[in-house]
Structures are given as C-alpha cells and as structure tokens.
Copies of this chain bind each other. A is one copy, B any other.
Amino acid sequence: MAGNTFGHIFAVTSFGESHGPAIGCVVDGCPPGLALSAEDIQKDLDRRKPGTSRHVTQRQESDTVEILSGVFEGKTTGTSIALLIRNEDQRSRDYGNLVDTFRPGHADYTYWQKYGIRDYRGGGRASARETAVRVAAAAIARKWLNEKYGVVIRGYLSQLGPHELPFKSWDAVGQNPFFSADPDAVAKLEAFMDELRKAGDSVGAKITTIAEHVPVGWGAPVYAKLDSDLAAAMMSINAVKAVEVGSGFASVTQRGSEHGDELTPEGFLSNNAGGILGGISTGQDVVVTIGIKPTSSIRIPRKSIDKQGNPVMVETNGRHDPCVGIRATPIAEAMMALVLMDHALLHRAQNADVKTATPKLPGSASK
C-alpha cells in the first residue's frame, strides 16, 4: 500500500493538501442500507472545525462536506462513498520564507528529502487539515456501529501541558473549548493558554478515548490485533508520539496480581486491559490514551537550515493552534471508530457462525 488508505475491509482512501483545491476521501466497504446524509457527517466535522475559540487556529473554514457517491435516496448502497470538502481559506499570503527553509519539528526536511518536491503552503499533505477527512469518514462508521451494536465512542482531553485533567463527566466535554471532562478546570486552562499564546510558545496534551458497548470478540490474533490496529491508527494522527491501551505504561510497575483483571459472573473486576486481551475485545470499555507533542509552529525563533544547507533562523507567524491537542479529541475518536468498524466487519466474515453457551460478561454487548 502506498500509504493513503486506512483499513482492510472498511477502507478509507484520503487525499488533499492544506492549500490545494480540496480534501476528501473514498470510503469503501460500508454495508448497504445505512441511512446517511451530509448532515450526519457535518455535525462531527463541526466539532473539529478551526476558529471556534480564541485558543485554536483562527483559520476560517466552513468544512462543508459533499457526498459524491455511494448514497441513494438517503441510504448507503454498498458501493464506495466519496466525500469532498473544498478548501476555502487558501489565504494568498507570502510563503517566501518557507519555500527554502525547513521548520523544526515539521515534516519539511523529511518530505523534501523523500520526494524532492514539496507543497510548502501550510504544510501541504503533512498538514493536520487532512484529519478533517478522517472525522468525516469516521462519522459513517460511528453511525453504523451505533445503530448496529450500540457502540458509543467518546474522548476527552486528559492532560494539557502540566495540567492533568481527570474524568468527571461526559456532559462537561461538549461545554468547553478544550474537550475537558472536568468543568472546574476550564478557567485554569484558559489562563494557561492565554499565557502560552502571549509567550509565543506551545505545549503538548493527552487525549483519552473510550468505546463503550463493543461486543466481545472483535480483533484478530498476532498481527491484526485490535490494539495493534488502534496503535497504528492513533500514531498516524499528526503530532502523536505515544499510545497506551488500558493501564499502558502504568502496567510496567504493576504486579501481575494487580494488573490481571479478575473475572466474576457479575463481570470483570477491573479494566487494566483497556478492553482488549490477546488482541481481541473483552466486551469491556476499550480505552486508549495518546500523547501529543507541542505545536511545532511557534513565534519563538529557532535554528534551522535552508535547502542549500545554510543555517537560518525560523519563526512562524501564522494562524496556528498553540496546542494541537485541543482539537484532537474528535480525531482520536474518529480513528478509534475506523478501527472498530473494520474489525466489526472482519469479525462477521470469519466468525459469523460462532456461538458459545458461555455467558457474555456484563459489559460484553451481545453480538
């Protein structure tokens, strides 16, 4: 694979650059008969949209999605679904300083050396703008997973720079610009972000994403493990540097007698596994946490080189998120949805006939 398709059997093929005419994707493998409209997709796109608070990039894009195929009389037909989002805010500014220099922390140097050509406008293909496509494609997956299995996928900002943000309520998440599940932390975060913006600097973040009502049995052994595909999905998001499933790195210091989740007829007694054992879902919540690096585009001058290898100083004065993590929650949810959808279908292919007399443990949605 050449790298722009995600998924095995529910496959998303993505295209588009930050400042080209459009971004979009082709979604292949969606079951037929799912009610689907542009509005179903739009509402997820709107959650990710830039320009919604002073803490994120002020780029103005309506991110209006158009369904070009695969839907007939309001329902999916089982053929490939093309989604198109025109780029609107291709501000015709002077990129002169970026044409020949490589911004630290960005893909400029690596793209240039790999391809020998580079769309320097706004990061080109390496821009996080591409993640709008993932959110759009995943809206289809989320709808199907929810209608068919009751799966609910939600995420929240679990850390912003030094501020750990414990989960308090899902209701809070939609009511602040940070996707914080702790409403009491919002004032603190706003102050922190204001100070950061003033300093011209940026900071990293953690996002935790949870899928509820995933049936027991999704996933596959050895290489197509559910957690392996989730790790790939999450690490493919721009700026993500770390992925944990369940207890993650905390497992390192746990004893086996603490980590291994005990089973009882009433259900598992804990969920250190993050809902996955042996690469297969247990029926508990699937829990994944990602670590996101600080935005690379900052106003503080930094050392770099130009195309000829000469030393230069780079500072970025643009419309950048001082913490890319703030807008990453819908993207992490999207990637989890794409993986679960793919595995839901794979599971049916091979295991549609399996029945066991063993009770599904509570939390284990029936297949």
Q: Is the CB of B1 within 8 A of A72?
A: no
Q: Which of A45-53, A103-111, A183-191 participates in binding chain B? A: A103-111
Q: For residue A28, which residues in chain B have a CB less than 8 angstroms away from its CB?
A: 1-5, 13
Q: For residue A228, which residues in chain B have a CB less than 8 angstroms away from its CB?
A: 232-233, 235-236
- Taken together as a complex, chains A and B put the C-alpha atoms of A304 and B262 apart, in Å, by 6
Q: Which of A55-63, A171-179, A270-278 participates in binding chain B? A: A270-278
Given A1-B223, A110-B281; 8 other pairs, CB 8 A cutoff? A13-B13, A22-B82, A29-B349, A148-B353, A159-B252, A227-B236, A228-B236, A348-B349
- Taken together as a complex, chains A and B put the C-alpha atoms of A296 and B5 apart, in Å, by 35
Interface 0/1 of A1-41, CB less than 8 Å to B: 11111101111011111001111111011111100000000
Q: Is the CB of A256 within 8 A of B105?
A: yes
Q: Is the CB of B254 within 8 A of A114?
A: no
Which one of B78, B216, B361 contacts A117 once the chains associate, using CB atoms below 8 Å? B78
In this assembly, does A330 line the interface, its C-beta being within 8 Å of a C-beta of chain B? no
Nearest-CB distance from A204 to chain B (Å)?
4
* Most chain B CB atoms below 10 A, which of A116, A222, A243: A222
- Taken together as a complex, chains A and B put the C-alpha atoms of A311 and B107 apart, in Å, by 54
Q: Is the CB of B217 within 8 A of A256?
A: no
Interface 0/1 of A201-215, CB less than 8 Å to B: 111111000000000
Q: Is the CB of B77 within 8 A of A117?
A: yes
Interface 0/1 of A331-367, CB less than 8 Å to B: 0000000000000011111111111111111001000
Nearest-CB distance from A273 to chain B (Å)?
7
Nearest-CB distance from A236 to chain B (Å)?
4
Q: Is the CB of A113 within 8 A of B358?
A: yes
Q: For residue A245, which residues in chain B have a CB less than 8 angstroms away from its CB?
A: 235, 241-242
- Taken together as a complex, chains A and B put the C-alpha atoms of A161 and B224 apart, in Å, by 28
